[in-house]
Amino acid sequence: MYKGWTIPFKINRSLTQEERDQALPRDGAPVARPQQRAALIAMNSTYLDWIDRRFVYRGTMNTFLATLTVLMMIPALIVLNWMGYSIRDDEEYWWTVFLMIVPIYIIFWCIVKLTLRGEYFSYTYWPVRFNRKTRMIHVFRHNGAGGTLSVSWDQVYFHIGVGGKQFPKATYICGHVLDGDIVKDTFALGHDVDDKRALLEMWEFLRCYMNDGPEAAGPHPLDRYVELSVMPSLCNCYIMLHIYYLGSLPLIGKILAYPFVLLYTATRWLVWKTCREPVFPPEVEATCQVERDDPNVWPVPHRCFDFANSVPGLYEYVVKKHQRARKAEQQPLGH
């Protein structure tokens, strides 16, 4: 689940057989119905922005526990430091206190370095931009020089990535930059999903957009509204975590999990408030200018899924589409 985040992707290696077997098709017959699946950030005729894979995990269990541990350790460090500096005349006692402080400092450093890295004081999200006019993909990594990976859409090898031994059902869209058969760089995008059909729907959305344009990705007028909001508000924190953690649980599961959702919401909001907005470099923005009269600029909500309540007929359309999708899930893929 944390590949490419706290656990870096392995590069300068050959493609594995599993990656070859899980290749995502660029052309040919549709593999699913195109769906944004709350992964689309912005859409127009020039480019679309897609969410990074880590977005939905920000501020959840690991971050909450690490934050709580750090907050509990800070007073202990202050007290132990004060004790150490106040009894310098007693050498034996000083060494005793010193041996107590060092392990706590090591634990503190590991938590901050390994668990909270990329959470606090980083970015609210890491967008992946698909420019269909220049046929380029721009993967944001940090503001400033060298902070964006730019590569041709036609030169990226996409396949279905797997979360690892601990999360074998968690799949995601993974892109490799290749030099022959050697993986030189890797990025992941979209949300992790347990259902392969959901992953193929996101891939079909991206593929339709790059091959045929916004109308192909959203064939019905009521498809052309962005579902996700990346505004760092408390409401958006709660909505995303409520859907991700409580959406498919039975009633008793929702009751038991609800307190954790509230705790994670608070941590997620705290993380967001320490982060800054991602900014693509000027040379990328220069190639991503949107025409003033572009008819394919999809509205972006202030709150996630807000348009379902405010646009007439959209909620009913979404319900019917969901029902059709449920029926399709009963059929084998490819039918």
At 139, phi and psi to the nearest 5?
Answer: -100, 110
What's the pLDDT at 80? 66
pLDDT tens-digit profile, the chain (335 residues): 567 666 789 999 999 999 999 999 988 888 899 999 999 999 999 999 999 998 988 888 888 888 888 887 777 777 766 665 555 556 666 666 667 777 777 877 778 777 787 889 999 999 999 999 999 999 999 998 889 999 999 999 999 998 766 666 789 999 999 999 999 999 999 999 988 999 999 999 999 999 999 999 999 999 999 999 999 999 999 999 998 888 778 889 899 999 999 999 999 999 999 999 999 999 999 999 999 999 999 999 999 999 998 999 999 998 888 777 667 666 665 54
What's the pLDDT at 154? 93
Of residues 231, 165, 230, 163, the one with CA closest to residue 199: 163
Q: What digits encode the pLDDT tens for the residues 297-320?
A: 999 999 999 999 899 999 999 888
For the chain, which residues make up each domain, given as ranges? 13-59+120-232+275-313, 63-115
What's the pLDDT at 76? 72
What's the pLDDT at 331? 63
**SS3 call for 43:** strand
pTM of the model: 0.88
Instruction: Name the DSSP letter for residue 197.
Output: H
- Alpha-carbon span 212 to 110, nearest angstrom: 47
Hunting for tokens 């192909």 — which residue is that? 216
Of residues 188, 172, 212, 207, the one with CA closest to residue 25: 207
